[in-house]
Amino acid sequence: MGDATPHGVSRRRLLARGTAMLVVASVAPAALATPRAIGGRELSFVNLHTGEKLTAEFAHGGRYVPSALRAIEKLLRDHRSGDVHHIDPHLLDQIHVLRKRVGSKAPFHVISGYRSPHTNAMLCEQSSAVAVNSFHCKGQAIDVRLPGVSLTRLRKAALSMEAGGVGYYPDDDFVHVDTGPVRRW
């Protein structure tokens, strides 16, 4: 019995339990502390170019819902070319938090989601305000407004998140949000 602890549990079993508890202890608090792990996360959109509307629970129980992600990707497609592209789920997390911060349940009005490289090049020729290496081309950016929420308030809430790029376009009535480095313009 030299291999047993005073309570009759083998050292090997005790070590295995301790390791498992350390793994759970290091992962569980972080997972439980984030809204991602609790319940579902839903977003609503109106694509202003196509008129399409969508409400989708894009995450549930700490996991993204593949069918909802595909539906969102279709809605956020390049409306000029019809190209559909992967949308960064973290972008959806960001705008979900943004909508909660401003206390709105209204659908986001989408000005631009994914942009194909061809569309982006065309827009660059028309305006110096369009980035050559836009996060829109990577599925990591969205231009939106939120009915009932002033653009100033939406921008301020997005900036307070310190979660990526935030662009303010009051003349065009939208705020740009992306998952790139934290910056503002």
What is the pLDDT tens value at each position of the chain, 185 positions in all?
A: 445 544 555 555 544 444 433 333 333 333 323 444 567 999 999 999 999 999 999 999 999 999 999 999 999 999 999 999 999 999 999 999 999 999 999 999 999 999 999 999 999 899 888 899 899 999 999 999 999 999 999 999 999 999 999 999 999 999 999 999 999 99
- Kindly report the CATH number assigned to the domain that includes residue 130: 3.30.1380
Q: Are residues 18 and 86 in the same domain?
A: no
> Do 76 and 126 reside in the same domain of the chain?
yes
pLDDT at position 32: 29
Q: Which amino acid is at 35?
A: P
pLDDT of residue 128: 83
- Where does the chain show beta strands of DSSP type E? 40-47, 53-60, 63-64, 108-112, 141-145, 165-169, 174-178, 183-184
Q: 3-state class of 69 per DSSP?
A: helix
Q: How many domains does the structure of the chain reveal?
A: 2
Domain that holds residue 22: 1-33
Together in a domain, 46 and 23 = no
Both 41 and 18 in one domain: the answer is no
pLDDT at position 123 is 92
Residues 153 and 65 reside in one and the same domain: yes
pLDDT for the residue 157: 98
Torsion angles phi and psi, residue 5, rounded to 5: -80, 175
User: Is 11 found in the same domain as 79?
Assistant: no
Q: Hey, what are 100's tokens?
A: 């909660």
pLDDT at 10: 52
- Backbone φ and ψ for 116, nearest 5 degrees, come out as -70, 155
Task: Indicate left, alpha or beta for 162 from its phi (over 0: left) and psi (-120 to 50: alpha).
Answer: left
